[in-house]
Amino acid sequence: MVQVMERTRERAGLRPAERHPAIGAASAPPVFDAKGLNLWYGTRHALKNIDLPIRENEVTAIIGPSGCGKSTYLKTLNRMVELTDGVRISGEIQYRGRDIFGRGFPVEELRTKVGMVFQKPNPFPKSIYDNIAYGPRIHGIRNRKILDEIVEKSLRGAAIWEEVKDRLGTNAYSLSGGQQQRICIARALAIEPDVILMDEPTSALDPISTLKVEELVQELRAGYSIVIVTHNMQQAARISDRTAFFLNGEVVESGETDRIFSNPDDRRTEDYISGRFG
């Protein structure tokens, strides 16, 4: 428990965002590393031979047209995709050096290390406080003072504390969509994840809320590794360190965002980012 709290403090006391100095450095070991990953829904081959490392303290953007496998890839990282009937997977994904499909790999632990935020804000129909305290309570934290502290730090970490601190008891549904999304991010932070997966987290938000979430992602990079699926090319260019372009279940190209957007290797990447299809 002491360890848990120390990590909460450390994580919530965010350092200012800065472009990660180690980009491109071969020395930084990936947090997730997919190798020869294939996935089928029944007979539908949805992920084809994916090789894609996710690096620590970076924002990795996943771009590509609808139906190309972006959400499937995210849900494979936390093994959520296996909850769907008829899914078959081959190849491997290493999480911090261990194969997540390996026998005896602790799936429950993986799910506490990997937080997820969805397109449509999905707070629980509970108070703001209880939304954030939910995960810690499941992990056995009962002490009110400790919970208070986690709630405050998570809400601060998600840049929404000032807006809600005087009404923690009100239902999260009473908040705007943009606020609800930051509550969902705070809820993810409360379980002290290592990695945060975001599946088009701003596509249901207005421009101002979108900007707030984008700024937040930039700040969170200091303490977490983030994978964000986005339809918005400008967003990928603005907030990510690396970009992977998916097409028909394959990674056509991945690399530093600046390069992908200025000088892609593959014609299809260029066509997609310049809006010629998708």
Question: Which residue's beta carbon is nearest to the bound Mg ion?
Answer: 71
Q: Give the nearer residue to Mg ion in terms of CB position, either 178 or 201.
A: 201
Site residues for ligand ADP, 42-81, by CB under 6 A, read 44, 46, 64, 66-72
Return d(Cα 30, Cα 224) in angstroms, integer: 13
Residue closer to Mg ion (CB basis): 127 or 248: 248
Comparing CB distances to Mg ion, the nearer of 8 and 71 is: 71
Strands, sheet with 87-95, edge to edge from the N-terminal-most edge strand: 44-55, 30-41, 87-95, 98-99
Residue 12 vs 77, nearer CB to ligand ADP: 77
Contact by Cβ (8 Å): 141, 147: yes
Minimum distance from residue 62 beta carbon to ligand ADP (Å) = 8
> In one letter, which amino acid is 160?
I
Query: Smallest gap, in angstroms, from Cβ of residue 82 to ligand ADP?
Result: 11
The one segment of 69-77, 125-133, 174-182, 205-213 that binds Mg ion by CB under 5 A: 69-77
In the bound complex, what is the minimum distance in angstroms from residue 86's beta carbon to ligand ADP? Answer: 7
- Minimum CB distance to Mg ion smaller for 71 or for 181: 71
Say whether residue 41 binds ligand ADP (CB under 6 A): yes
Residue in the block written with tokens 């394959």: 250
Nearer to ligand ADP, 70 or 242 (CB): 70
The reply on whether position 71 binds Mg ion by CB under 5 A is yes
**Candidates 15-23, 67-75, 85-93, 257-265 — which segment interacts with Mg ion by CB under 5 A?**
67-75
Residue 102 near ligand ADP by CB under 6 A: no
Nearest distance from C-beta of residue 199 to ligand ADP, angstroms: 7
Binding stretches for Mg ion (CB under 5 A): 71
- Would you tell me which residues interact with ligand ADP (CB under 6 A)? 41, 44, 46, 64, 66-72, 84
